[in-house]
Amino acid sequence: MNPIQIDSPRPMGGRKISLASRVWNTPSLLVGGLMFAVLIGLAVFIPFISPYQPSEQNLSAFLQPPSSEHWLGTDQLGRDLFTRLIYAARTDLKIMVLAEIIPFCTGVFLGMLAGYYGKWLNTMISLLTDTLIAFPFYLIVIIVAFASGAGERGIYITFMLVGWIVFARVVKGLSASFREQEWVASAQTLGLPGVRIILRHLLPNVLPQAIVVLMTDMIGLLVAIVTLGYLGIGITPPTPDWGTMIADGRSFITTAWWLSAVPGLAVVYTGIALSLVGDGLADLWRKK
Amino acid sequence: MMRLSKTLNKSPGGTVSGSWLILAVVRALVVILCVMTAVFFIIRIVPGDPAKMILGEYSTPEAIQNMRHTLGLDLPLWEQFFRFVKTLFTQGDTGNSIISGTSTRALIAERAPVTLLLIGMACVLAVVVALLLAVLAATHKDQLADHLIRVIPTITLGMPVFWVGLLLILLFSVRLHWFPVGGIGEGWTGTLYSLTLPAITVAFSQIPTLVRSLRAQMLEVLESDFVVTLKAAGIPSRVVLFKHVLRNSALPTLMLLGVNISYLIGGTLVVEQVFGIKGIGSLLFSSIAKRDFPVIQGIALYCAVSVVIISLLIEIISWWLDPRTRGKQ
């Protein structure tokens, strides 16, 4: 089934060690993974780290600068900025991951179908992607999110509609190039059904590249979630979200600029972490 | 369509060019038709009743019925589509605004110039900066400058464009008082001046991807045989760089911009909101606030059709200028 393993001179045990050492020799994967782990750790353990609640108001201590009591200061309602920032990570990262599942699966599947079967199926799927891609990303995101109502549901619907395109395009190209190779031809000669070839042979080969694309795409999705929140058609208050936090801080940009700057930095931090993980995974699979 | 293009690529000769052009135009026209259909369905596929959204949660059933009638939503779907297509071809837009009664086309035409100017400025800025950075990185391969420039995309990929705009306002308008906080200035110079910061913001979101691809392109040219030959012939490397390498990078830059134009337009709409510029973006947001569906649809239609036409033009120009790109579509 898997000729690589049969031909491999390495003993089975050696594979694991080589994987660990390969990971160890990919610094971007390590650093990115660590950065992301720190964020997830904070988001999980924030109730034990912070004595404040994300929506707990204290009107006698509003717009305070950073201090030992409030690490990043407080906002216009006296809410602790650090606490809100980490609770917002819970909201935004959860939506980021959940909103990516269906588009990823749909995109990979349609891409494989279009690339493997080609012909009219490819023409149809290409026409669909060309049509959707003609709409500026933020235009379609804003319109669909608005039409399906603000809040989490709108975000999921939006990305179900437009998020799959990038995966379909990448996987289609890969699948089409694999189709020309001998191992697919031999599988066909053996009389294996198309579905089996796609799922057992094509899928494992396109998945690494698709996952690298997924990392970059998640950054774009996170930025889009935050942008929708900023524009008032994403996450609705009082749920903490980086986008609405930046929007709220806007009115105080002359006096308390960190209210808008810090949530943005959180997005940038997450972006760097995911970007490094993506680069690292690409390196890792290339070395193989 | 795909099969046709494959057989075309195989047959060399003069007749191919004409057929390729026709094929590209036909393809673009088909996509435009699909775009029109998508614009029709865009408010119909998502859950929720547009009439109810316009009137609000507490409207009476009669009022909703009347609004449905005004919008033509009470008609069968095929008749709605027929009406939509008819308006499209007779009026050239998606009907009149529910709020003001003005045609969508007029509303968009009124706001388009400032948006187009902003996009143009951002494009020029992005290309100039990206080319400079790419030259610097490619000529100093694996040196400090190259490493620094290669880190840029990793850092900037996760920067929300509206947040970059806010930071620029904070630094250059609030602190340094170099630029106005928002709005549009008087006259030509005033307009250009007040659009500088927004243009930098839009360009900022484009530069990372441009630099990454251009650097790779330029390295390929720098290591190609003809550049090695030119250098061996004793031509100064500066002349080689500016006369030959840059010229060979012009086309890839153009094609990259073509790929990114859709993203650029979307980013511009958001940036307009940050800087309070009365362009297409602010028309979109005010229409969303007023639930003015025909205008929203009109903006989507005009943006998408422009993207298809620009992509087609760039495809044709690059095909015309560089035979090597032929058949790569």
pLDDT of res. B46? 63
- State the best of A146, A152, A157 to mutate against chain B, taking most chain B CBs within 10 Å: A146
Contact B270 A274 (CB under 8 A): no
Other beta carbons within 10 angstroms of residue A154's beta carbon come to 24
CA gap A122, A169 in Å, rounded? 11
Average per-residue pLDDT in chain B? 81
Nearest CA in chain B to A121: B2
Confidence bin at A285 (pLDDT 50/70/90): confident
Backbone angles phi, psi at B100, to 5 degrees: -100, -15
Of A226, A254, A276, which has the smallest distance from its Cβ to B160's Cβ?
A226
Nearest CA in chain B to A252: B170
Nearest CA in chain A to B47: A148
State what percent of residues in chain A have pLDDT above 90.
26
The single-letter DSSP state of residue A252 is G
- State the best of B166, B170, B287 to mutate against chain A, taking most chain A CBs within 10 Å: B166
Of B160, B284, B285, which has the smallest distance from its Cβ to A223's Cβ?
B160
Instruction: From A215, A131, A104, A122, select the one nearest A173 (Cα to Cα).
Output: A122
ipTM, interface predicted TM-score of the complex: 0.84
Min Cα–Cα distance to chain A from B302, Å: 9
Nearest CA in chain A to B288: A146
pLDDT in tens, B267-278: 899 999 888 888
User: Which whole-number Å values give the CA distances from A187 to A109, A112, A256, in the listed order?
Assistant: 19, 16, 64
pLDDT of res. B175? 80
Q: Is the dihedral of CA B12, B13, B14, B19 positive or negative?
A: negative
Residue B13 has pLDDT above 50, yes or no: no
Bigger pLDDT: B45 vs B144: B144
Residue B327 has pLDDT above 60, yes or no: no
Confidence bin at A101 (pLDDT 50/70/90): very high
In this structure, what token pair is assigned to residue A188?
Answer: 């066909």
CATH classification code of A33-45+72-287: 1.10.3720.10
Confidence bin at B120 (pLDDT 50/70/90): very high
pLDDT in tens, B54-112: 777 777 888 888 877 877 777 778 888 888 888 888 887 877 887 777 888 889 999 99
Inter-residue contact B326 to B10 (CB < 8 Å): no
Instruction: From A251, A253, A232, select the one nearest A243 (Cα to Cα).
Output: A232
Min Cα–Cα distance to chain A from B132, Å: 24
Q: Which residues of B touch A275 (CB under 8 A)?
A: 153-154, 157-158
Instruction: From A225, A153, A157, select the one nearest B45 (Cα to Cα).
Output: A157
Strand partners, B103: B96
Of B2, B46, B311, which has the smallest distance from its Cβ to A123's Cβ?
B2
Inter-residue contact B104 to B94 (CB < 8 Å): yes
Q: How far apart are the first and last CA of chain B?
A: 12
Residues 238-277 of A with CB under 8 A from B: 243, 246, 250, 253-254, 257, 260-261, 264, 267-272, 274-276
Of A127, A149, A219, which has the smallest distance from its Cβ to B30's Cβ?
A127
Min Cα–Cα distance to chain B from A141, Å: 9
pLDDT of res. B12? 43
Min Cα–Cα distance to chain A from B135, Å: 23
Confidence bin at A266 (pLDDT 50/70/90): very high
pLDDT in tens, A102-161: 999 999 999 999 888 888 888 888 888 888 888 888 888 888 888 777 678 888 988 888
Other beta carbons within 10 angstroms of residue A1's beta carbon come to 6
pLDDT of res. B4? 41
User: Which whole-number Å values give the CA distances from B234 to B226, B227, B303, in the listed order?
Assistant: 13, 11, 50
Of B38, B46, B267, which has the smallest distance from its Cβ to A148's Cβ?
B46
Exposed/middle/buried for residue A48 (C-beta within 10 Å: 0-12, 13-18, 19+): exposed
C-alpha A176, offset from chain centre: 26
- State the best of A121, A123, A135 to mutate against chain B, taking most chain B CBs within 10 Å: A135
Give the pLDDT mean for B123-133. Answer: 89
Contact B31 A134 (CB under 8 A): yes
Confidence bin at B121 (pLDDT 50/70/90): very high
Residues 22-41 of A with CB under 8 A from B: none
pLDDT of res. B324? 63
Q: Which residues of A touch B38 (CB under 8 A)?
A: 131-132, 135
CA gap A243, A95 in Å, rounded? 13
Q: Which residues of B touch A216 (CB under 8 A)?
A: 157
Of B2, B159, B166, which has the smallest distance from its Cβ to A122's Cβ?
B2
Inter-residue contact B312 to B26 (CB < 8 Å): no
What ranges in chain B are assigned the alpha helix state H? 2-10, 15-42, 50-55, 61-71, 77-91, 104-139, 144-156, 161-168, 187-222, 225-232, 237-239, 246-275, 280-289, 293-321
Backbone angles phi, psi at A191, to 5 degrees: 85, 20
Q: Is the dihedral of CA B187, B193, B196, B198 positive or negative?
A: negative
State what percent of residues in chain A have pLDDT above 70.
92
CA gap B265, B183 in Å, rounded? 19
Residue A270 has pLDDT above 90, yes or no: yes
Other beta carbons within 10 angstroms of residue B12's beta carbon come to 7
Place of tokens 């191919």: B16
Residues 153-212 of A with CB under 8 A from B: 157, 161
Place of tokens 């979101």: B205
Q: How many CA atoms lie within 13 A of B158 on its CB side?
A: 23
- State the best of B154, B275, B286, B299 to mutate against chain A, taking most chain A CBs within 10 Å: B154
H or E element that contains B157: none
Rg of chain A over all Cα atoms, to the nearest angstrom: 23
Of A141, A261, A271, which has the smallest distance from its Cβ to B158's Cβ?
A271
CA gap B67, B187 in Å, rounded? 42
Of B3, B46, B167, which has the smallest distance from its Cβ to A147's Cβ?
B46
Q: How many CA atoms lie within 13 A of B201 on its CB side?
A: 31
CA gap B161, A264 in Å, rounded? 10
pLDDT of res. A17? 61
Query: Which of A74-78, A217-221, B14-18 bottoms out in mean pLDDT, i.e. has the lowest?
Result: B14-18
Contact B304 A231 (CB under 8 A): no
Residue A4 has pLDDT above 60, yes or no: no
* Length in residues, chain B: 329
At B236, is the secondary structure helix, strand, or coil? coil
Cβ of residue A226 closer than 8 Å to a chain B Cβ: yes
pLDDT of res. B17? 63
Confidence bin at A263 (pLDDT 50/70/90): very high
pLDDT of res. A287? 67
- State the best of B32, B52, B162 to mutate against chain A, taking most chain A CBs within 10 Å: B162
Contact A135 B300 (CB under 8 A): yes
Contact A147 B3 (CB under 8 A): no
**CB under 8 A, 24+ apart: contacts of B172-178:** B172/B197, B173/B197, B174/A253, B174/A254, B174/A257
Residue A8 has pLDDT above 60, yes or no: no
At A80, is the secondary structure helix, strand, or coil? strand
User: Which whole-number Å values give the CA distances from A280 to A167, A269, A276, B217, in the listed order?
Assistant: 19, 16, 6, 23
Contact B267 A279 (CB under 8 A): no
pLDDT of res. A255? 81
Contact B157 A275 (CB under 8 A): yes
Give the pLDDT mean for A58-87. Answer: 77
H or E element that contains A131: helix A119-134
**Amino acid symbol at A182:** E
Contact A267 B158 (CB under 8 A): yes
Instruction: From A210, A234, A211, select the one nearest A222 (Cα to Cα).
Output: A234
Cis peptide before A238 (omega within 30 of 0): yes
Q: Which residues of A touch B30 (CB under 8 A)?
A: 127
Contact A142 B42 (CB under 8 A): no
